[in-house]
Amino acid sequence: MQKFEKLQIVKNVSSSWLSLSINIAAGVFLSPFILHRLGDTAFGVWVLIFSLTGYYGLFDLGIRSSIVRYVSKFSATNDKQELARLVNTSLFGYSCVGFLSMLVTLAGFYYVDRLFRIPPELHSTARWLLLMVGTSVAMGFPLGIINGFLEGLQKFYVLNWTNIVSTLLRIVLIVTFLNLGYGLLTLAFITLGLPFLVSILRGVIAFRILPVSVGLQYIDRAMFHQIARYSGVTFMIMIAGRLKFKTDEVVIGTFLSAAAITYFNIGASIVDYAAEVVTSLAQIFVPMASQSEATGNLHRLRKIFIAGNQVCAFTILPITAILIILGKSVIEVWVGRRYVAASYPVLLIMIIPWTLMLAQGASGRILFGMGKHGTWAKVTLLEGIANLILSVLLVRPYGIIGDALGTAIPLTLSMIFFMPRHLCARLGFRITSFLRQSYFWPLVNCAPMVAVMLLMRRWFVPHTYPQLALHLLVAGLTYGLGLLWVSLTNRALRVEHHPLVPGTDVSETLVTTTEAFQQDL
């Protein structure tokens, strides 16, 4: 790549992690603040309503992923006519989707308090909260084109900096109005109104970067079919994702109580924060893989596969080790000791399969970028169905622990027995070569940090933020020194020559060093 492209990657990744750091800091501060202001039940209703409207994402039908895929492809080939057809056809489709989701919201407005175990005093609040959130989501569909457009252009830093400003403003407004005695609906107005304003600002920026013609004449049936072919498979993955990761609160709210959602959500939210660290990095691999596929550069695709997953592993493994060893302390200092007994087991059960998934964070993005995600869609849909069935079967006898196990078991099996073998077959790697090149040094680098954390925990268990910060500082320094050694000795980001797997459709050999990888990426 040219120097400009390498600079863009640095800007994207650094701004993503800065934005993520602020988001996590906001969540760490705001979640206990909101919880203690609203109480367990009202907070559970808040989580439940957002979980319900999260299913509206299924109305996306995979269009967003096709926007990212084809914007990156058409911009790489400089096809402005096709780009105009893509944007206008997607805008029309999304407007129809937004109208449909608004109808669903109006129906839910009258029935939400009858479907879930919500206390009578919160019935009216729950209905109006659903109406507000549902309206915001409906309007967000056509506005969502802007985010996909910027991602396809690899302008993640625009998304990230606008998100940083919005997050900081949200913190100030929420703290101010909750301290003044306002409740759930005001909280929702702030949380939902800011993204709407940010989307408008992003739209202005996006079409200044790359102007696109807008008009009814650009709505194209052939483009609609092209989007549908790609997004249909993505839609299957979206359904699976909702079944895997967004049914927990609904299952718990149906069979247990709104308060139980709070205890589950504390452990699950910590895992989500850990996941965001990797996904904010891995998102750059979709347009990178799409451009490589569009230009026929299989050599670069393989480098993204190995080096991308290695970077994901270097990122998630130390976080996982910290949460396993210090998870109880994290929960205690974050929301209070009384939540530890119920929430830590949820954290422990869910962090392992999530780590298996996140350590392969580049794999799924490469499949999306290549447009070869059909088989993965079928497998992950089966996984999602198994998740829902197991969660329903286990939640009554085992409570929120059973629900967590229902999520963990199918995800673990999928990430061990399907994903690595599928990508290796696609790109011509032996599974042993992939595992060794991607994960040996990340695992080795974690070992000294784990030993230091265990020794410090024998010295004292942290119960306050300063004590926890000391543990994390020592652990981070230990891991950072190891990472520095790995970097200076050129033991990371090295993709070795290897024999191809028999029967694959790729024929190039892959010979590259750290220096060559850095030159390309």
Higher pLDDT, 189 or 255: 255
Higher pLDDT, 299 or 360: 360
CB atoms within 10 A of CB 212: 16
For the cut 80, the answer to whether the pLDDT of residue 151 exceeds it is: no
Q: For residue 223, what pLDDT is reported?
A: 80
Q: For residue 512, what pLDDT is reported?
A: 35
Q: For residue 500, what pLDDT is reported?
A: 46
pTM of the model: 0.65
- Alpha carbon distances (Å) from 101 to 47, 105, 234, 247, 476: 19, 6, 19, 19, 45
Contact 357, 411 (CB under 8 A): yes
For the cut 90, the answer to whether the pLDDT of residue 470 exceeds it is: yes
Contact 110, 243 (CB under 8 A): no
For the cut 50, the answer to whether the pLDDT of residue 515 exceeds it is: no
- pLDDT tens, 18-31? 776 787 777 777 77
- pLDDT tens, 41-73? 777 776 776 666 555 555 555 666 777 777 777
Q: For residue 491, what pLDDT is reported?
A: 61
For the cut 80, the answer to whether the pLDDT of residue 448 exceeds it is: yes
Q: For residue 190, what pLDDT is reported?
A: 79
Q: For residue 321, what pLDDT is reported?
A: 94
Q: For residue 508, what pLDDT is reported?
A: 36
| pLDDT band for position 294 (cuts 50, 70, 90) | low
Higher pLDDT, 369 or 375: 375
Q: How far apart are CA 315 and CA 312, in angstroms?
A: 5
For the cut 50, the answer to whether the pLDDT of residue 123 exceeds it is: yes
| pLDDT band for position 189 (cuts 50, 70, 90) | confident
Higher pLDDT, 59 or 111: 111
Q: How many helices (H) and strands (E) does the chain have?
A: 19, 0
Q: How far apart are CA 37 and CA 32, in angstroms?
A: 8
Higher pLDDT, 1 or 27: 27
Q: Give residue for tokens 């309007």.
A: 139
> What average pLDDT does the structure give for the chain?
78
The pair phi, psi for residue 103, each rounded to 5°, is -65, -40
- pLDDT tens, 393-439? 998 899 889 999 998 999 999 999 998 888 888 888 888 888 888 89
Lowest-confidence pick of 52-66, 214-228, 254-268, 275-289: 52-66
